[in-house]
Amino acid sequence: MKLKLSVLILAIVLSTPILSLACSSLGPNIHAGVIRGVDSKEGTITLIDSETGKALTFSASEAQISPLRPNERVVIKFSVEGEKMVAKEIQA
């Protein structure tokens, strides 16, 4: 009986989808999370990182910023330029 219950629990756990993206599993220079804010005047996007829960700020172009809205889930590929993280690609 215990073996059957253990197998059932294991099957449920393995079949449950992963709800959030862990940034470390996405690779270098990629963060995933929820947009907290968009500042087109400053050219920045603030993201709440799904792995750490910390706010991260990325520089971005107006073309990248304009379609984004707060509370939207995104994946941002970026490069580090000086002390800034600069968005290279944003996937909503």
Question: Which residue has tokens 């009986």?
Answer: 1
- The backbone torsions φ and ψ at residue 70, rounded to the nearest 5 degrees and listed phi first, read -55, 150
Q: Give the integer Cα–Cα distance in Å for 79 and 82.
A: 10
User: What pLDDT digit, counting tens, does each position of 34-79 carry?
Assistant: 999 999 999 999 999 998 899 999 999 999 999 999 999 999 999 9
34's tokens: 């929820």
pLDDT of 85: 95
Q: Which domains are delineated in the chain? A: 21-91 (2.40.50.320)
